[in-house]
Amino acid sequence: MAQPVKLYVYDLSNGIARQMSLQLTGRQIDGIWHTSIVVYGKEYFYGQGINITAPGRSHHGSPLNIVDLGATDIDKETFNEYLEELREQYTAEKYHLLDFNCNSFTNDVAGFLTGGSIPDYIKDLPTDFLSTPFGAALRPTIDAMYRRPTPGTTPTQVPTPTPTAAPAMPNPELVGSILQAVAAQAQQGTRTPSAPIVSNQSTDSLTSPLHPCNNSASFQSLIRSHKAVVAYFSNVVTCPPCRVIAPVFEDLARQKGIKTGGGAGAAFTKIDLATPSGQALGAEWGVRVMPTFMFFLDGKKISEMKGADATELRTQIDLLLFQAYPPHQHTSLSLPAMQALSLKPILFTQAPALDAVSNKLNSFVDSATWPSDTSMSAEQVKRVMSTSVLPYLKSRFTPPEALKNKLPSANATLLSSWNQATATLSSILPPESLFPLVDMWRLALLDPAVGTWCAANPSTSPIITLLKVPLTKSTIQQCPRPYMLTLLRLLSNAFSSPVLSPRLLIDNLRTDVTAVLVPSLLHSDPSVRTAAASLAFNSSAFLQNLRVEAVRNGGGGGAKSDIENEDWEVEIVSAVIEAIDREKESEDVVHRLMASLGCLLRLSPFYETQLNPLLEVLQARQILQSKLAAGGCGEKGVQKPEVRKLIEEVALKLCP
């Protein structure tokens, strides 16, 4: 009789991931998932080895979700034999929060019982997490938590994440404590005290991306879900060549395995032919010689290698990665002017006379007609601004000399009340009366705490509120100059926050920012155009940083982050080229626009398919070169040598 198979899903973070993931990573992660298999009236999970309990009676409590995986016709005795076989692989000392965890176990068991796999959102969570700058920065800390010491050496203390390792990481002590708590929760379980942990060199390298595969279903899932896969079939017990090549394979997995931060690599897996399930998998793939290596690209086997030739193995892996991630054509170009560009954001840091700004805003509040049904009265708004916001801005941005090394940061209470006042003011005051408020937020966004708070509240942040003001006009040109100027400077300053920056370039917020940016590049006022060019540069420089990091991590032309968006890049490139063509007055604006264009084009994953044809249609090379001629920008054209070199380089090497 068929037995139902259920997947119990728990959140090891107890809701913390849902609350803090956007703030910490710039991406919404709803949970740190722990899973178990429920079948034959028992719950099976991996932590301190393989554990068995009554359903819902483990230390994890009640499951957050129950997923129906189907049914199995395998009898309980056969399953128990399979489970005993797995116990040799799923031991307590092999556990790793990212690489070899409870979900690795349930995916294997699901494959054995039903031929299926656990949901992708659970399997792919480590990859999703590590693809963020925050996750990449935490990788060494997580690895250190699971690295067993070599016998005879002193154990290394697990390091606390540091701000220098992850500039986007607020409160490293909190992050460290959360990690330890999640790890402890994941590995709790029954354990025999008399069974000591024995360090095993063959498993000490689990921090390399070795994916366990114990049956056909898990192997098929691996090759379907990864662009490049290297599979190693061996039996180190009976095969001396296997023992020789094993450390080479594990070292290559460390060097060329799945990379983070937008890079690329292969998924490495090792199939143990000493086990019955490994033998069955080897027979399925026609393995007759040990060791055998198979190489998969886009789910298809492209080559095979037999024997323990380390040089040939390296060559085959390099060839696989070259085919999977061919190098971007721009990596072979000499671009000294582009490489000399500082990719740090352009910021507007000058602090105004804050008392004068506050008085100006108060005068606008006093002169406005205040509806009776607003969430805050005029007096409440003025009280928040004068007793909370103004003292904070003064203490941080115009502090006495003696206090410059002890600058305060905004707290959530202050920001929430200020945000409420901002929403109220923007619904009552006309745009020409709001620029003092915008200028205060422009300054505040230089405080890392403010950027982090805005990133954690993307749908209700003041950035959204203030962006909507000009978008209610039929054209941006109708919005008062002071408002547009301060808003563009505010958006530029938002890129000072590594946590907030990616939020500005995804989803609805990107749409609103773009709707303000594009027409502002053609504004009649030179100061507004300068601020718009600064925002364009900050956006493109952020992308360029991601691409350079991806290339550094081994990614090729096909590797792109979640932030890359084909339609958006086409729109911005078109707008920047038009702005360059029209800019006849300011060499500074041309410089910023040229730097923006170079950053948008260089290493773009859409260069060959979209941007290159677009540049030809727009005659971009001719437009750029016209800036060097008389009348192109000023009477004599662009004069600064560094700007001329940048124009020539982008025109001749990045434009067809």
Residues sharing a CB contact under 8 Å with residue 276, sequence separation 6 or more, in sequence order:
85
102, 239, 242, 454: which one is catalytic? 102
Q: Which helix (H) or strand (E) holds 8?
A: strand 3-11
Question: Which residue among 34, 60, 330, 591 is the active-site one?
Answer: 34
44 Rama class: left (phi>0) / alpha (psi -120 to 50) / beta: beta
Query: Nearest-CA neighbor of 576 among 500, 631, 644, 627?
Result: 627
> Smallest Cα–Cα separation from 487: which of 459, 515, 506?
515
Cβ(99)–Cβ(130) below 8 Å? no
Question: What's the rounded Cα separation, in Å, for the pair 495 and 596?
Answer: 14
Q: Does 102 qualify as catalytic in the annotation?
A: yes
User: Is the sign of the CA dihedral 581, 583, 585, 588 positive or negative?
Assistant: negative
Rg of the chain over Cα atoms, rounded to whole angstroms, equals 29
> Other C-beta atoms within 10 Å of 40: how many?
17
Query: Which residues on neighbouring strands pair with residue 52, listed in sequence order?
Result: 44
DSSP 273-314: TTSHHHHHHHHHTT--SSSEEEEEETTEEEEEEES--HHHHH
In this structure, is the dihedral angle defined by the CA atoms of residues 275, 278, 284 and 286, taken in order, positive or negative? negative
Element of type H or E holding 71? strand 65-72
Strand-pair partners of 295: 230, 303
Q: Which of 294, 297, 230, 214 is nearest to 267 (CA)?
A: 230
Max alpha carbon distance in the chain (Å)?
A: 89
3-state secondary structure of 368: coil
Instruction: List, in sequence order, the alpha helices (H) in 171-261.
Output: 172-187, 216-225, 240-256
Q: With beta carbons less than 8 A apart as the criterion, state whether 413 and 392 touch.
A: no
What CA–CA distances, in Å, run from 569 to 402, 467, 504, 565, 583? 46, 20, 14, 6, 21
DSSP 605: T
DSSP at 257: B
| Residues noted as catalytic | 34, 102
